[in-house]
Amino acid sequence: MKIDFDGIQAFVVIAELGGFSKAAEHLHVTQTALTRRLQKLESYLGLRLLDRTTRYVELTPVGRDFLPQAKAIVGEMTIAVGRLKDMSKHGRGSFTLACVPSMASHVLPEAIRRYAKLHPGNRIRLIDTSAFEVRDAVLHGQAELGIGIPTDRHPDLVEALLFEEPLMFFCREEHPLSRRTAVTWADMREAELIVVSSMTATRIFMDYQLAKRGISLNGAYEVQHHATAVSLVAAGVGTAILPAFTLEEGARPGVCRIPLTGPVVKRKVALIRRHNATLSPAANAFLELLMEGVSSRTG
């Protein structure tokens, strides 16, 4: 069934204002166009809703019965369209974001704080998971946006570089290397390293970059998450090589973050979204805010 909304709206406004002239003015159409709308609706229904002469307009018995339902249809549609226009104009709504944990614990909170201030009624569902699962969440529509480490290219996904962050050396302030302004990869050969799992994108990236340079490191301990590695470093269990944004300088008392050189190795952090997929207004508003923040951080 094809619903003739224009015809129903015309019928309601004519009935409420009591004439074609006022109704046409209210709807910003000509009287001829308004008449055609009503005639088209009546033709489709096979019923006359209004009796009209040059002097008056009067509801037929069928028109009187139909008017309350017609008003409800027009009212609900007006509210629904208004809500969508409001979402579009102000970026309102909710969306799901997938993100690697290292971003969720450092870079992302500032972006979410700014987003909440600009869009107080919006809600973000955050999936903090591995880089591979971030990609899959976006690919299968479980998240509109993803922030993670670039993995295997997929034709249905688009990756936009957000920034690059260097890998750094984390240790307790009592460690022999803690006073250095920089350390080299060669210095790591004797360190009791805590490494992240070989199944994580960060570890795969790090091993690849080191293998290209003929450097091989063995970890004394292996963990799944960066935050766990930081906690073990803070407890004096060992040292770690982690992305710079894992922990801000001074955020964990007793833990030092030292640049790694010879060579400086950086991992890429990308924004991931589905190819040719239209974002919801809420997700698009967050994307614009995030890109502005990244631009100011890197610019």
Half-sphere exposure of 174 (CA within 13 A, CB side): 6
Maximum mean pLDDT: which of 98-102, 176-180, 200-204, 262-266: 176-180
Rounded Cα distance, 132 and 198, in Å: 13
Cβ-Cβ contacts under 8 Å for 75 (sequence gap 6 or more): none
pLDDT digits (tens, 9 = 90+) for 208-252: 777 777 777 777 888 888 889 999 999 999 999 998 888 877 778
Radius of gyration of the chain from its Cα atoms, rounded to whole angstroms = 31
Mean of the per-residue pLDDT values for the chain? 86
Q: Tens of pLDDT along 120-148?
A: 888 999 998 888 899 999 999 999 999 98
- CA angle 285/290/293 to nearest 5° reads 130
Are 132 and 160 in contact by the 8 Å Cβ rule? The answer is no
Confidence class of residue 87 from pLDDT cuts 50, 70 and 90?
Answer: low
| Average pLDDT of span 166-176 | 92
The arithmetic mean of pLDDT across residues 167-177, rounded, is 92
* Tokens read off for 210: 């080191």
Q: Give the pLDDT confidence score for residue 141 in this predicted structure.
A: 92
Residue 214 pLDDT: 77
pLDDT for the residue numbered 36:
92
Of the chain, the end-to-end C-alpha distance in Å amounts to 56
Phi, psi of 98 (to 5 degrees): -100, 140
Residue 126: left if φ>0, alpha if ψ -120 to 50, beta else—which one?
beta
Predicted pLDDT of residue 248: 77
- Phi and psi angles of residue 291, each rounded to the nearest 5 degrees, phi first: -65, -35
Burial of residue 184, with CB atoms counted within 10 A of its CB: 0-12 exposed, 13-18 middle, 19 or more buried: middle
Output the pTM of the full model.
0.67
Confidence class for position 88, pLDDT limits 50, 70, 90: low
